[in-house]
Every structure is written in structure tokens, then in C-alpha cells.
Amino acid sequence: SRPDWRTNASNVGCQCRRFGFVLLPSSMLSRGINDGHIFNINSMSGHRITGMMNFYAATKFAVTALTEGLRRELAVKSRIRVTAISPAMVETDFVTRALGDENGKEVIQSVGNLLKTQDIVDALIYALSAPESTQISDILIRPTGNLL
């Protein structure tokens, strides 16, 4: 039988990252990379629940836990840093398409300000520019004036 959207969301949101969290660090360490930086783009939904998005939030909470587990695992055997960037809704074509063109526009207008992709890039640069002795573990980003 064909899996429903919840199964697909869980597979993409959690299982794919879990495999990546196994493969990427082992690949880095096997090549002698001991001081790199792994970024995980998560979601504010991994830190709070809004509306009727409880299942989506559950997959994002799982990503938050997987990221923290990876950070702790790498801390005992390397200097590889792990940073999760969790933005609120970002203004992209994907958001409009995912919600349906007309419905998406209404939802976006009701939410208020949305983040821009440059906001995410700036957060990534901020974490990369931190001193090697500093672990920027989580960056939660909301646009000014947004209630979500």
C-alpha cells in the first residue's frame, strides 16, 4: 500500500537526516577532518507547536533531538561543531506552492513578516565566524513583528 503523508514526512524529516548524521561524520573523521562544521537546517516547529501542525512539529522535534545527539557524540571524539538553524516561515516559492497558490498567499499575509533567504545565510555566516572555542549550537530565527 502507498504510505500516507505522515509516513513520507517522517521518512524525509527524520530518517534521511538520521542516515546523514551517521554517514557525514564518519566520512569526515575517516578523512582526518577533525575540526569541521555541520549545519542542520531545522524549523521553529522543532521548538514549539503552532495551529494544527502537531505531526509536522513532531518530526521537527525529532530533528532537534538527533542534532543534539550528534553534537554530543562528536564532542567526545572531535572538534567538529554542529549548529542547527531553525527559522520561522521563510519567503520562498516552496511555501506558496506547498500551501496552494491562493491559500498560500492568504496564510502568508495572515502570518505577517516572513524571513528572507538572506536571513538564513546571515545566521550561517554568524555561526561560521564564531571562534573555534565557541559552539553555537542552536539559532532560532523569527522575523521582527511576527507572532509565530
Alpha helices by DSSP H, listed for 3-141, are: 5-10, 16-30, 54-75, 93-99, 101-111, 117-128
Answer yes or no: are the C-beta atoms of 37 and 127 closer than 8 Å: yes
User: Residue 147 corresponds to which cell in the numbers above?
Assistant: 507572532
Active site residue 56: yes
Q: Please, which residues bridge with residue 139 across strands?
A: 85
Q: Which residues of 15-26 are buried (b: 16+ CB within 10 A; e: fewer)?
A: eebeeebeeebe
* Residue of 56, 57, 70, 127 marked active site: 56
Give catalytic residues, as residue numbers: 56
